[in-house]
Structure 1
Amino acid sequence: MNLRKDKVVQSTDGDALSSKYSAVQKGYLQDEFIDLFVAGSKQAAAQQGPGSARKVVAQFQPKLPLINRGTFVRHHAIDVLVDRFLAAKKPGQRVQIISLGAGSDTRPFSLWSSKPENRDEILYHEIDFAVSVERKRDIIMQDSTLRELVGAQEYDKTTGMHTQRYHLHGIDLRSIGPGFVLPGSDPSLATLIISECCLCYLEPDQAKQVIFWITSEFTNSTIVMYEPLSGQDQFGQVMIENLASRGISIPSMTKFPSLESQIERFKAAGYTEVLATSMDVIHDEWLSPEEQQRIHGLEFLDEREELLLLLKHYCVVWASNLTK
């Protein structure tokens, strides 16, 4: 990637944040911290000039019901799998979570806020471009609740943040190779790696190198990955073309176009348990009847077939080497 492409990839965090914000506003999701990050995003844009400020204001307008529903299903799937990982640990056991391309994600704060014992039992790492990390660090340090949750004592002007329970790393994933040591990480802990639309932006060889680093450095680990699929059909091709029109390239869509190819990808990397499913299945089978009824009542959706077609072109993968 060149600098222009890097900026395009970085801008996708704004897309994800604005989509989640819309879903929260409509009642699909709950997130007590998202307003802080929306305000931080708007403040950063205002500092870049009136044009950027207007663009961000437009970005945070309410989304279509189709987008809100898709955003809800995405977050529900990751929530379920993170909860599954945490439920497997013994009482008092310390575990580690490493989020690749974390952006404006608020998951660590929600985990520590919902259960105070998590503050001693979850060591959380977030990795992203330095510019994204600096913005997140500033948002954390400007809010007393976030500072307390991460255990920050003082404002360190260096890139990133490092406390006993939280590490915010300004690292380009393309620089990670054999022998790389993630500062503050503990390879002896059961480790969950989260990649939500992150590895998909890397060239296949670069993503393979990151996965190899994970399997060699964290031998007792699980990867939860959310990515788009081309499906090798017309809809997938239109997705690729639409993304390309915005300057966005997702190499994994052509390299790993199907669930089967994603499963083989992680089996080849040495994972012993690999499961994958498309998001339309999660929409129809992972939600309780009560939750289905709740979200149906939030907004009228007359594009069910279009929604399921869109969801069919995204997947979630669970690949694990966790010691039983």
Structure 2
Amino acid sequence: MFPPPRAPTGDASIRSTDNDAAVARLSAVQKHYFEDPYIRHFVPRAHLVPHRPPLINIGTYVRSAGIDTLIDQWLSIAGEAGKRCQIISLGAGSDTRFWRIAAGHLTDNLKTYIEVDFPEITTKKAMAIRKSKELMSGLGDAGNVSLAQGGTALHSPRYHLLPTDLRVDPSETLEPLLCSSTNDDDPPLLDPSMPTLLLFECVLAYMPPSSSSRLLEWFVNLIKTNPDGVLGCVVYEMFGLDDAFGRVMINNLSERNITLPGVGAYPTIESLPNRFIHTGFKAARALTLKDIRKNYIASEELERISQLEFLDETEELDLVLAHYAISWGLLLINTDIGAIWGKWGLIKQD
């Protein structure tokens, strides 16, 4: 007999979690929790992938509902302020958000969308984009889409896919990628004068707290160079893993050679906003997925998804959702625009 396959090691283990997320999203789409016609392009042999259990599908739905609401609000408020905005998804993996925004009613409020991840991930994503007519059409004229850096990067007028290691000092990695220009006709990708939204979905938990703090501080300092700068950040991650549930999760991940160096610094839901405040943001909030499901999603929508699959253990669902959170932070350099941007955030449903 052949020996069992060995678990990937090092960064390969972390990169493998992107496939987990993509497959979970595909499963939720196939079960009609939400629509995403683009995710199948990033899952090899998508039609053969088995569905995930209801608990995972519901968790994926709640995660998506919360993050989608915050990002749609950001785009809407930018439009109200007479601005277009830029979104930077760090550790983006197989995320399809750019294409969903590009095909939606808020597309005109988006100026630039930038994705950053390990070069192994961006190479695979660039190849998948180039192979798909649907994804390529979402980027506009194919003549304006180009590969760069040996196929690890991809550029179009609004969408940019960039390779780097987010744990390395951003002054050495992100600064050359985002803030440099090779000629006067090609300005830097990042414009501090635009409302800028950072997105981290299950990324910071895999980084040492010192690295994630340095990363956020770099963006804060960049936005501070503009007197009207606006910076927002959305983080989705697990937390509070010092109980029985958390120990099981950590043990399961360790069997795949995955560790969570960023989790211990923020053990409670109350501690999660501190990540933002300690790095220069002026306001922050965090909610568990359990709370979002019960209080921040419309009752008619909850009724709809309850009909999709039978879930016999709601206690287990609540336990899982209570260990994941969405947090968001906001920095306004000019506080006079607080009346516009201060309303950004999840709103409790009656």
Per-residue CA shift, 1:215-240, capped at 9, x if unaligned?
11234210100010125322222222
Partner of 1:288: 298
> Where does residue 87 of structure 1 map in the other structure?
76
Structure-1 residue corresponding to 2:268: 258
Matched with 2:348 is: none
Residue equivalent to 1:113? 103
- Work out whether residues 84 and 108 of structure 2, in 8 Å CA contact, stay in contact via their aligned partners in 1: no
Q: Does 1:123 align with 2:86?
A: no
The residue matched to 2:79 in structure 1 has which SS?
A: coil
- Which consecutive residues of structure 1, in runs of 5 or more, have no partner in the other structure? 44-55
1:120-199 superposed matches below 5 A: 121-151=110-140, 152-153=142-143, 154-156=145-147, 158=150, 159-178=152-171, 180-181=174-175, 182-183=177-178, 184-199=189-204
- Which letter does structure 1 place at the counterpart of 2:300? E
Please say if residues 176 and 213 of structure 1, whose CA atoms lie closer than 8 Å, have aligned partners that are also in contact.
no
Letter in 2 for 1:187: P
Aligned position for 1:32: 37
Higher helix share: 1
Q: Deviations over 1:77-109 (max 9, x none)?
A: 110110121121135621000001111100000
Out of 275, 287, 311, the position equivalent to 2:321 is 311
CA contact (8 A) 1:230 1:237 kept: no
Structure 2 CA distance, aligned partners of 1:147 and 1:120? 20
TM-fit CA distance, 1:42:
4.4
1:207 paired residue number: 212
Write the distance in 1 (CA, Å) between the matches of 2:325 and 2:32: 24
Give the deviation of 1:33 after TM superposition. Answer: 0.9
Name 1:97's counterpart in structure 2: 87
Instruction: Give the fraction of aligned pairs with identical amino acids, expressed as a percent.
Output: 37
Question: Number of residues paired by the alignment?
Answer: 305
Taking structure 1 as the reference length, the TM-score comes to: 0.88
Question: Which amino acid in structure 1 is aligned with residue 191 of structure 2?
Answer: D
For the 8 Å contact 1:133–1:168, the answer to whether it is kept is yes
Sort the Cα spacing of 1:42 and 1:155 in 2 relative to 1 into closer, same or farther, 3 A. Answer: farther
Structure 2 residue aligned with 1:61: 50
| Partner-residue secondary structure (3-state), 1:260 | coil
Q: TM-score, normalised by structure 2?
A: 0.82
Q: Which residue of 1 aligns with 2:182?
A: none
- Residue 289 of structure 1: how far off its partner (Å): 1.1
SS of structure 1 residue aligned to 2:116: strand
2:10 aligned to which of 5, 14, 21: 5
Give the corresponding residue for 1:223. 233
> What is the aligned-residue RMSD (CA, Å)?
2.0
* Structure 1 pair 293–120 and aligned structure 2 pair: CA distance change class (3 A): closer
Deviation per CA, 1:195-227: give whole Å up to 9, x if none.
000111111111111111121123421010001
Q: What residue number does 1:53 align with?
A: none
Which SS does the other structure have where 1:315 is aligned? strand
For residues 139-162 of structure 1, give each alpha carbon's deviation from its aligned partner in whole angstroms, at most 9, with x where no partner exists: 112223322322342553532112
CA distance in 1, matches of 2:249, 2:158: 39
Distance 2:130 2:223 in 1: 30
Q: Which amino acid aligns with 2:317?
A: L
SS of corresponding position for 1:318: strand
- One-letter amino acid of the counterpart of residue 9, structure 1: I
The CA distance in 2 between the partners of 1:120 and 1:224, in whole Å, is 18
